[in-house]
Amino acid sequence: MAGIFYFGISLTTLAAEAGLKPLLIHGQLPAKVRLERMAAAKSAQLIIGTSQLLSEGLDFPHLEVLIFAAPMSAVIDKAGDPAATKLIQSIGRCRRPHPGKTRALIIDLVDKCAFGVSAFNKRQHIYRLQGFGGI
């Protein structure tokens, strides 16, 4: 978790320096602050958070871009695969209709190592089943 936590802080800093208004949400925030940020996320321009915290029970239809920056091996053919369910739920949040929204863009950052490439290939199958093209 520590690596993801520091990565999130680094991304937040870079986004702020680029003139964006990032909102960082993670499990190490005090409960009150986390709840305040979750409420603010409904209108945030950029949300940076862990997939664990941001994957279930959220309704942010204004989001157009979803960036996966952590390796996740997900197989849709495997009954009840929680990683596949989380991936599909996250994609669905980005695809929800919203006034003025014209697209849903999924960006998947891949580590060039055996596990990273193998896990991406599995996710790519899910992306195709969900109707996303690849580049």
* Residue 57 pLDDT: 66
Of all residues in the chain, the percent with pLDDT exceeding 90 is 8
Predicted TM-score of the model (pTM): 0.71
pLDDT value at residue 99: 92
CA angle at 123 for the pair 121 and 125, rounded to the nearest 5°: 75
Say if residue 1's pLDDT is above 50: no
Amino acid at 107: I
pLDDT 10s digits, 18-68? 998 888 888 788 999 988 998 998 888 888 877 676 666 677 888 888 777
- Please enumerate in sequence order all residues whose Cβ is within 8 A of that of 15, keeping only pairs 6 or more positions apart, or say none: 22, 46, 48
